[in-house]
């Protein structure tokens, strides 16, 4: 593969960058096991950069050589992103995509130096995650009615709140991932990393009822998905979002509650009730403990609020 790319670079054939990016995308998919959504984000970030480089170098994209992308040009790209008034998170993500790409090129000896070695990401805003209070979470999961689709939705909401899994992990679950007799579910997370997540009794009961009495009447033959839509096929990310929006409205909650906000609620409520940070990290499938630590800020906010409400001189 590398010989193939080098041959195109040495002969200065057109479409060199497209060829290399294609190989980089394959590397992310098949060696790093990144999800389709993550790979799409990398691809979008790289092509955004190529558009800028094309303008800065006064060259068509297909004629840009990797050696032309030096540290000066990358600093110009950073300034360009900041001038567009993009969020710090977006700027940091685009730089991270290019940093990974240059690391790929350098490791495979397609460039002699990594132009981003000395570049640092802009500091990201410290935003507290949106979450439901415990009573709100209870109202949400108890909002569905007793109709067949209502029972499916109750099982889905109980499952999301019981496990804190990502919506992409939820919709990719198959029947063989469930171990209801033991109260566990096998979750395939980011980077194809597998983890076992426990289920509490209410979630097991709601899921068991759905699987026994509702799913058989919905599912199409040969569909292994745990959660299916009214057509009998695998429920999509968008379908889950619609379900949550529906029951937020019924329960009288905020309309901007996302599936990820339920994940945030799961982590926040565990910490509020005494769970240790390391255990929450394992349950969420976070690689780094620092990713989980944002929830400690949420609990500190709660402590401050309780203090102000109850201290006689606050």
Confirm whether 190 is a catalytic residue.
Answer: yes
Catalytic residue among 80, 260, 297, 302: 260
**Residue among 94, 154, 234, 263 flagged as catalytic:** 263
Which residue in 232, 242, 257 sits closest to 148, CA to CA? 232
Distance of alpha carbon 48 from alpha carbon 252, whole angstroms: 40
State the catalytic residue, choosing from 186, 286, 297, 302: 286
Beta strand ranges found along 162-267 (DSSP E): 178-179, 184-188, 194-198
DSSP 236: P
3-state SS assignment for residue 256: coil
Active site residue 18: no
For the CA atoms of the chain, what is the radius of gyration?
24
**Cβ neighbours of residue 51 under 8 Å, at least 6 residues apart?**
61
- Cβ burial, residue 304 (10 Å; 0-12/13-18/19+): exposed
Q: Answer yes or no: 263 catalytic.
A: yes
Catalytic residue (choose from 190, 195, 241, 302)? 190
Whether 166 sits among the annotated catalytic residues: the reply is yes
Catalytic residue among 166, 215, 264, 269: 166
Q: In what order do the strands lie in the sheet with 194-198?
A: 178-179, 184-188, 194-198
* Gap between the Cα atoms of 298 and 293, Å rounded: 9
Whether 234 is catalytic: no
Max intra-chain CA distance, the chain: 78
Residue 127 annotated to the active site? no
Enumerate the active-site residues: 166, 190, 260, 263, 286, 295
């Amino acid at each position: 593969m590398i010989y193939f790319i080098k041959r195109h670079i040495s002969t200065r054939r057109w479409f060199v960058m497209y060829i290399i990016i294609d190989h980089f995308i394959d590397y992310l998919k098949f060696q790093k096991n990144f999800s389709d959504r993550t790979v799409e984000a990398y691809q979008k970030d790289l092509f955004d950069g190529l558009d800028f480089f094309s303008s800065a170098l006064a060259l068509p994209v297909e004629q840009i050589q990797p050696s032309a992308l030096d540290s000066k040009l990358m600093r110009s790209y950073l300034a360009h992103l900041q001038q567009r008034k993009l969020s710090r998170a977006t700027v940091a993500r685009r730089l991270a995509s290019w940093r990974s790409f240059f690391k790929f090129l350098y490791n495979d000896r397609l460039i002699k130096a990594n132009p981003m070695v000395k570049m640092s990401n802009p500091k990201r805003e410290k935003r507290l995650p949106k979450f439901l209070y415990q009573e709100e979470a209870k109202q949400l999961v108890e909002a569905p009615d007793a109709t067949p689709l209502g029972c499916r939705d109750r099982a889905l909401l109980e499952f999301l709140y019981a496990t804190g899994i990502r919506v992409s992990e939820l919709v990719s679950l198959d029947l063989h991932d469930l171990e209801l007799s033991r109260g566990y579910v096998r979750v395939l997370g980011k980077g194809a990393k597998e983890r076992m997540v426990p289920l509490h009794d209410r979630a097991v009961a709601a899921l068991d009822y759905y699987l026994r009495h509702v799913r058989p009447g919905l599912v199409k033959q040969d569909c292994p998905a745990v959660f299916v839509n009214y057509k009998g096929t695998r429920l999509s990310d968008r379908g889950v979002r619609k379900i949550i929006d529906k029951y937020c409205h019924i329960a009288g909650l905020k309309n901007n509650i996302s599936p990820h906000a339920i994940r945030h609620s799961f982590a926040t409520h565990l910490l509020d009730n005494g769970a240790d940070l390391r255990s929450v990290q394992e349950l969420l499938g976070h690689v780094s403990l620092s990713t989980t630590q944002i929830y400690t800020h949420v609990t500190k906010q709660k402590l401050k609020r309780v203090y102000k409400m109850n201290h006689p001189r606050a």
